[in-house]
């Protein structure tokens, strides 16, 4: 950590992003380069996650959302899917105490009902244990897909109309935002994607309408504190106009 402290002095503590979202991509390519199985890449990626959560906690970032498993990732071989789920359980199991001690609040976005029982149990334990914490909101996107999320929100709105609880005129941006999984958190200010792909892969499509995008060629297992700080420093140089003019 100490060798990166200098790097941190480049940060302006007044204009830190409130919410950082990360598409953690490139584990498979990292493993392939080393002639290792893809699973080894996922395991190495877990270390990057640990470091990034730690740095966000230290910097007092309000929300970190990470894309851990997409609704499209079920297309992968069964062995890889189950490894990813087991890895998450292992991660939570190992890290939960430290996360809790650091006042981190764990949240999940995505449909976890379909996951196996041990996975659900570990997740629920982590959520319950940390629910009253007031530090970093660590939001894990698991079996998450933005389109599924939006459809789910629309269905909820339709049900409320059908039950005469609201009318069509009550539908607006704020109410739809409040109906998404992310209802309790601000939209991401900064979206980071590792491993160089220039796409969103069904991640937070509604919420990132005005996020600043930052894409690096670095593969997720090679991503560390220095890269995160670089992304934030670059973000702080951006001119966020939100459609207006200076
Ligand atoms: C990201 O790494 C992890 C998940 C999508 C779960 P990948 O497994 O997609 O790695 P690449 O893109 O094949 O290198
Ligand atoms: C996005 O990565 C999903 C996660 C990081 C969990 P993918 O590797 O699944 O995305 P594509 O297939 O390259 O779009
Ligand atoms: Mg990928």
Give the pLDDT confidence of 100-141 residue by residue, as tens digits: 999 999 999 999 999 999 999 999 999 999 999 999 999 999
Residue 2 pLDDT: 52
113 CA distance to ligand 2 centroid (A)? 21
Tokens of 14: 């007044």
Residue of 4, 25, 169, 222 with catalytic role: 25
Residue 102 pLDDT: 98
Residue of 73, 102, 133, 202 with catalytic role: 73
pLDDT tens figures, 206-224 = 999 999 999 999 999 999 9
Three-state secondary structure string covering 26-75: CHHHHHHHCCCCHHHHHHHHHHHHHHHHHHHHHHCCCEEEEEEEECCHHH
Residue 3 pLDDT: 56
* Residue that is written with structure tokens 């830190």 in the block: 16
CB burial readout 189-222, b (16+ within 10 A) else e: bbbbbbbeeeeeebbbebbbeebbebbbebbbbb
Residue 63 pLDDT: 99
Residue 6 pLDDT: 79
140 CB neighbour count, 10 Å cutoff: 24
The CA distance from 6 to 2, in Å, is 8
Q: Which of 81, 75, 83 is nearest to 43 (CA)?
A: 83
Residue located nearest, by CA, to atom 3 of ligand 1: 25
Residue 5 pLDDT: 63
* 31 pLDDT more than 70: yes
pTM exceeds cut of 0.95: yes
What is the share, in percent, of the chain residues with pLDDT greater than 70? 98
Q: Are 146 and 116 in contact (CB under 8 A)?
A: no
Residue 66 pLDDT: 98
Phi, psi of 209 (to 5 degrees): -45, -40
25 labelled binding-site residue: yes
* Domains parsed from the chain with CATH numbers: 17-145+187-236 (3.40.1180.10)
Average pLDDT over the chain reads: 97
Angle at CA of residue 173, ends 180 and 24, nearest 5°: 45
* 1 pLDDT more than 70: no
Respond yes or no: is residue 73 known to be catalytic.
Answer: yes
Residue 246 pLDDT: 81
The CA distance from 198 to 136, in Å, is 28
Read off the pLDDT of each residue in 55-66 and give the average, rounded to a whole number: 98
Q: Which ligand ends up closest to the CA of 204?
A: 2
Task: State whether the beta carbon of 148 lies less than 6 angstroms from ligand 2.
Answer: no
């Amino acid at each position: 950590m100490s060798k990166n402290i200098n790097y941190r002095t480049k940060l302006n503590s007044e204009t830190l992003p409130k919410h950082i979202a990360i598409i953690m991509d490139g584990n498979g390519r990292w493993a392939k380069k080393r002639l290792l199985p893809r699973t080894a890449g996922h395991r190495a990626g877990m270390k990057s996650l640990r470091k990034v959560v730690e740095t966000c906690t230290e910097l007092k970032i309000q929300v970190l959302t990470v894309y851990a498993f997409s609704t499209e990732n079920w297309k992968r071989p069964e062995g890889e899917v189950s490894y990813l789920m087991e890895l998450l359980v292992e991660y939570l199991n190992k890290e939960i105490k430290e996360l809790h001690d650091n006042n981190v609040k764990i949240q999940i976005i995505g449909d976890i009902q379909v996951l196996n029982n041990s996975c659900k149990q570990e997740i629920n334990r982590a959520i319950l244990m940390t629910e009253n914490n007031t530090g970093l909101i660590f939001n894990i996107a698991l079996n998450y897909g933005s389109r599924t999320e939006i459809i789910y929100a629309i269905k909820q709105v339709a049900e409320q109309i059908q039950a005469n609880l609201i009318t069509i005129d009550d539908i607006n941006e704020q109410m739809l935002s409040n109906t998404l999984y992310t209802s309790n958190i601000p939209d991401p200010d900064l979206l980071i994607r590792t491993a160089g792909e220039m796409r969103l892969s069904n991640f937070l499509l509604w919420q990132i309408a005005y996020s600043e995008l930052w894409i690096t060629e670095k593969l997720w297992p090679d991503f560390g504190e220095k890269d995160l700080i670089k992304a934030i420093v670059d973000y702080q140089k951006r001119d966020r106009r939100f459609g207006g003019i200076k």
